[in-house]
Amino acid sequence: MDIIANLLARLRENIAEIYQPSPQTLERISLERPKNPEHGCLATNAAMILAKELKKNPREIAQEISRLLSSWDEIHNTDIAGPGFINVHMTNSFWHSVIHIILKEKNNYGKQPTHNKTINVEYISANPTGPLHVAHARGAVIGDVIANLFSWSGYQVSREFYVNDAGAQINIFAQSAFLRYKEALGINISIPDDHYPGEYLIDVGQELKETYSDSLLSLTEQDALQKVKDFALKSMIALIKKDLEDLGISQNFVYESTVINAPLKSYIDTLHKKKLIYDGYLEPPKGQVDPSWKSKKLRIFASTKFGDDVDRPLFKDDHTPTYFGNDLLYHAHKISRGYDQLINVLGADHGGYVKRLQAVVEALSDGRIPYPIIICQIVRLSKDGKPFVMSKRAGSFIRLSDLTQITGPDAIRFFMLTRKADAHIDFNIDIVTQQTQDNPVFYVQYAHARCCSILRLAKEHYGEESISPEQLLHADLSSLSHHAEKNIIRRIALFPNIVNASTLHIEPHRIAFYSRELAADFHSLWNLGNSQHELRFINQENVPHTMARLALVFSVRQTLANSLHILGISPLSSL
């Protein structure tokens, strides 16, 4: 249950009855925790939002709404700030109800009821020409946590990895693996500049030798390369799945080689009827133009009608689909599966794809299916003050599996969410392997572990049944009056709202930020207890007060655990 959302809904309902504003205006009214706690428990912009439509002075409206709010049992008082913001001071019993909700809902605190809406979240979708590297980790984590968020918000979520197992790069990959196979057989090789020289293919070559001995050499080059391609792709995809599994990620793999066998003509006919396909000529490519370049008549999708920079050809000169043509097929394949929404998480080097892909989905779905695309900026990896340089072709990249072994999956997952997706991130291995407050995942997990330690000690003193959630529901919470305790209660009350906002805006970093703030609140209270005896969590001289504190500790632990669950991180009970 989200008590703040319930208050906001009630406020909007009352405002709708009194002022009858437009639905758009009503939707913009908010009820949020102010940055400065001295300004109140909550604050609303209702008067400011209504003033423009009603053409009234916002302070006059604020006075009317303040009188309304002051009549509610949950509200202690209100005051008006600035041009018309309303600060709301809630009663202690209102905040104490949050603890009761958590004690009842436990693992479900912050969740929304399941509904029939479906969503497809595509992320990573790396070419299977090599192992995953550190740059893939950010999209992997962001995509996975986005999927978790929508699952918590009641959606039926499909997690998808699109495997580009067709095309020119895959053929080059097969040729590179074939050379490593020959090398494993003792044949001297020379790797062309446009091939994959990575050492990971040495292992593939050795596996090919162990499987086929030298029998591939007696086949035609075409037949040999087909076997090598099938074998190498299977090996690389298995490696990718293992790396993702170690990071706590499991997805549905959809293969380009299967999708491109679907008939493109039916989709072209559909778009042609909508006058979105035409036969025409494209402008010369930007920059230095090859003197031999000639404009040829092509079948073109009118993506500029949907905000794209240029229209996109669907076929090459040889009448095979372009990359964009295959992208159209893949997205048509997604749409045909009946999702209510699609989300894609792409790397920074794919920023130019956003408008064209969104144009395809809008055209094929008649604008029915929302398709936000999240761009993840670059990860700069450093250790011992030195940067790592990654290049899949050069074979000098840092493998995700290597990083996972060094730092563990929890550190990777949390650290990738310490900044918004569209901001560059510095991943300092030295920091994430230290058990200090500078390491954000340790800081949060330590708060959870401290909660567990308190509850274990309480169990020894009072017995397991006495500190069960069911028994703690009967605790007298009126003694939770210190500002540090109140601050924590208000923070945990925000959790469902944070989950909703993170889902609505597709910003998973908000959960990481929130969990660190809650951890900081709890560590502060813990430190106060070290110097002030009356703030210690367990005081055998005052059992009623202790039980109230234990109810608070349980609520913090549960909220941290639920936050970490969304992030895909282990809520450790000890460190």
Decide: residue 1, CB within 10 A, 0-12 exposed, 13-18 middle, 19+ buried: middle
Alpha-carbon Rg of the chain, whole angstroms? 29
When pLDDT is averaged across residues 542-549 and rounded to a whole number, the result is 93
pLDDT at residue 396 greater than cutoff 60:
no
* C-alpha to C-alpha distance for 528 and 485, rounded to whole angstroms: 11
Comparing C-alpha atoms, which of 385, 437, 432 is closest to residue 408? Answer: 432
When pLDDT is averaged across residues 443-456 and rounded to a whole number, the result is 96
Convert the pLDDT of each residue in 78-109 to its tens digit: 999 888 899 999 999 999 999 999 999 999 99
When pLDDT is averaged across residues 202-228 and rounded to a whole number, the result is 94
pLDDT at residue 394 greater than cutoff 50:
no
Name which of 209-213, 289-293, 512-516, 568-572 the model is least confident about: 289-293
CA contacts within 13 A on the Cβ side of 152: 32
Confidence of residue 531 (pLDDT cuts 50, 70, 90): confident
Confidence of residue 284 (pLDDT cuts 50, 70, 90): confident
Comparing C-alpha atoms, which of 45, 56, 118, 119 is closest to residue 88? Answer: 45
The DSSP line for 512-566 is HHHHHHHHHHHHHHHHHHHH-GGG-S--TT-HHHHHHHHHHHHHHHHHHHHHHHH
Confidence of residue 434 (pLDDT cuts 50, 70, 90): confident
When pLDDT is averaged across residues 299-314 and rounded to a whole number, the result is 90
Q: Which tokens go with 214? A: 């030298």
* C-alpha to C-alpha distance for 516 and 526, rounded to whole angstroms: 15
Convert the pLDDT of each residue in 467-525 to its tens digit: 899 999 999 999 998 999 999 999 999 999 999 999 999 999 999 999 999 999 999 99
Confidence of residue 392 (pLDDT cuts 50, 70, 90): very low
pLDDT of residue 395: 52
**Cα–Cα separations (whole angstroms), residue 381 to 245, 387, 458:** 22, 6, 43
**Cα–Cα separations (whole angstroms), residue 449 to 21, 395, 557:** 49, 40, 8
* pTM for this predicted structure: 0.91
Convert the pLDDT of each residue in 119-175 to its tens digit: 999 999 988 998 898 889 999 999 999 999 999 999 999 999 999 998 888 999 999
pLDDT at residue 351 greater than cutoff 70:
yes
pLDDT of residue 214: 94
pLDDT of residue 382: 79
Q: Which tokens go with 21? A: 């504003």
Q: Which tokens go with 5? A: 């959302």
* C-alpha to C-alpha distance for 540 and 531, rounded to whole angstroms: 17
For residues 386 and 342, which has the higher predicted lDDT (pLDDT)? 342
* C-alpha to C-alpha distance for 547 and 368, rounded to whole angstroms: 52
**Which distant-in-sequence residues (6+ apart) come within 8 Å of 466 by Cβ?**
none
Q: Which tokens go with 478? A: 């009126």
When pLDDT is averaged across residues 27-39 and rounded to a whole number, the result is 83
Confidence of residue 36 (pLDDT cuts 50, 70, 90): confident
pLDDT of residue 140: 95
DSSP letter assigned to residue 425: E
How high is the mean pLDDT of the chain? 90
Q: Which tokens go with 513? A: 């930020």
pLDDT at residue 333 greater than cutoff 60:
yes
pLDDT of residue 393: 43
Confidence of residue 263 (pLDDT cuts 50, 70, 90): low
